[in-house]
Amino acid sequence: MRISIAYNLRTKETEEQAELLPQEDVDRLYKALTALRYKVTPVEVSGKPDVVIERILKSEPQLIFNVAEGTIGGTREAFYPALYENLGIPYTGSGPSVLLLDLNKHLAKAVMSAHGITVPKGMLITRHNKSVPSYYRYPLIIKPNSEGSSKGITQKSVVETPEECQARIEELLKDYPEGLLIEEYIKGRELSIPMLELFPDQVLEIVEHKFNRPTEEAKYNIFDYSSKRGPHAKSVSVECPARLDNDQRERIMALAKRTFAVMDTHDLARVDIRLHEDGTPYFIELNPLPSLHPDNSLMQAAKARGLSYKDVIRLIVGSATQRYLLTTKALKRSARYAKRIKSRPTLRETGASIGYFDTGVNNAITDVKGVKVGHVTHIEDNVEIPGVPGSTSVRTGVTAVLPSSNPYEKLMPAGGFILNGIGEMAGITQVLEWEWLETPILLSNTESVGRVHDGVIDYMLDKYPRTHGDRSVIIPVVGEANDSFLNDTRVRTVEANDAIRAIKDAKVGPVQQGSIGAGTGMTSFDFAGGIGTSSRVLPPEHKGYTIGVLVLSNFGLMRNLTIDGDVVGRELDKVFPKETRKQKEAASVIVVVATNAPMISSQLNRLARRAALGLGRVGSHARATSGEIIIAFSTGNRVSRDEYAKLKHLDMRFVSDPLINLLYEAVVEATEEAVVNAIFCSDGMTGCGGNFSPPIPHDKVLELLGKHRVA
């Protein structure tokens, strides 16, 4: 594929050219793209538009790698993607509307605030409106409204009195007549959160900027121009990952993800946040064209996640390539990344729905507060087979469900149900007998249970060193399904460290579904798709309790697929060739049920049995060689390990029968929808031996559902 690097060259080290690229940055990018076997042409795009267009067209790009910041006016960043679009040339990065908005700081914050994202109180100052409301709390910070790279920002930008404020406004308006942003100064920590659209969960890591200048030189911890490019550039150090407690981290990550979603960023971006002294994160700025310099935030966060510079460039190109449906032999994904991380729409996102109850915000198991999900995905071709000539393909992974941030020290009631037992869930006998859950729940393929088991033990021993002293033993919960139709299980790609990574990468919020994590090589009802999730929330008059379900789905025959009562599989079975389908009888599904309703183990056993009814509703008949294993836990009752060991009696609340009936209904609905989402969210998967599990045809299914479609 032919790629042109579009850039504006920095010819001198002045504040006016601070946003432009030095030659060494262009050379570094050129080297990385060339190493990825692309045909690369650097194109300097400063100057008159007609000359720029001529240069671009002469390079004959199939894709433009855009790092051009522009040189003139508040629309300078948006000019280039708008130009590429008008020329009909695909490009990396976000569209012109995003770049236009991000460069207008005041407007960007107005949009963020309208979407419920916390921003500092502020306003736009112009020559015609210099009046600052008296109710603003000092200190305030004043900065150019349409500049980047900390241009126009110095220690004098923070003002403590109305007199200082007016003087600074007059001074800055001379250099930046297009306007200033004035807002309340947030005392706290300076954080950046970069994203790569093709990276699992998109968000990389939280980066903290530490300010090391003496107080007499820098009273305020701000990223002013002197700290970024001036004489004090080395006075700011980077810590990644930032040291934060779990609550702070979750709030910051949630704000960052919300920002990227609201702004519809593509390929790469960065959001800057100030963490107030009281723990509140504030949106400060979005940068959809973050620096790719190795010392800056994006690359530091990538390094923390095990990515090299070349890995980052590969993922950026890969994301753009997928968005524009380009094809390229050079796009070979590392085994750590999914073939296509961004999933297709869920059933509900296509306009159809299942059941009576409302879903949670994410329609996922993570709607149960405290529950997190993490994936590690292995997709690789041309893999050597141990002791056998030739090569093969790997399609597998690990998925972790964390019931809480501290399950070992604060136990929660658990239960389960085995509908058919030709499958494996290590640790389920302890859960059923002891009636408590104390570890994360891990899912993978059949051959990897042992290695995942080892990884969970390593993680738990490291996180809870007291186990060495009190002679406690760790009995992990690890469920499996057989992915050998698409994954060559002889290779045994999954390692113990993958389990640790899946646990550590687990997040709250939206859950990636389909052919991801443990579900990468799974096939459901003869379609691709393994990981699915859904949730239900009871009405407020019934306490608003939440039920969340996550499935590792690898079962079912196409002809039996049933969605909200319609056996759509009967018609689909007629049009898909049978000779290419998975022929083995062996199939399994693991169901993880979470709820915040206070329940005891016996009730959770009963709840798990109702989840099996959800499997039946979607088309399972529990074949003789399949495994349908369900585990359920409640976050509504927590008991500390020490209390459990010492107290003779435990006091626990639990729901009564009238309320549990609603939970039964909710778990049936959520289980059915989770299985359907596992299929709907996959875009198909080709695996070892050329085996292929197709994507389910959304349009055809919606047509068959007919009356169940929602306007």
Complete edge-to-edge strand list for the sheet that includes strand 2-7: 39-44, 2-7, 63-66
DSSP structure class, residue 137 = P
Residues annotated as part of the active site: 588, 626, 628
Tell me the three state secondary structure of residue 478.
strand
Helix (H) or strand (E) holding 191: strand 188-196
Distance of CA 387 to the CA centre of its chain: 38
Burial 414-433 (b: 16+ CB within 10 A, else e): bbbbbbbebbbbbbbebbbe
Pairing of strands 281-287, 425-426: unpaired
Can you point out the beta strands (E) in 497-625? Answer: 523-524, 527-528, 531-537, 546-554, 587-595
561 sits in which H/E element: none
Contacts of 466 (CB under 8 A, 6+ apart): 472
DSSP 709: B
Q: Label residue 474 exposed, middle or buried (CB < 10 Å: 0-12, 13-18, 19+).
A: middle
Q: Are the C-beta atoms of residues 678 and 524 closer than 8 Å to each other?
A: yes
- Cα–Cα distance measured from residue 709 to residue 496, given in angstroms and rounded to the nearest whole number: 44
Angle between helices 297-304 and 309-323 (to 10 degrees): 100
CB atoms within 10 A of CB 526: 23
Distance CA 369, CA 634 (A): 11
Q: Give SS3 for 559.
A: helix
Residue 426 three-state SS: strand
DSSP string across 62-99: SEEEE----SSSTTHHHHHHHHHHHHT--BSS--HHHH
Q: Which of 678, 664, 548, 672 is nearest to 620 (CA)?
A: 672
Which residues face 374 on adjacent strands?
A: 400
Q: Which residues pair with 221 in a beta bridge?
A: none
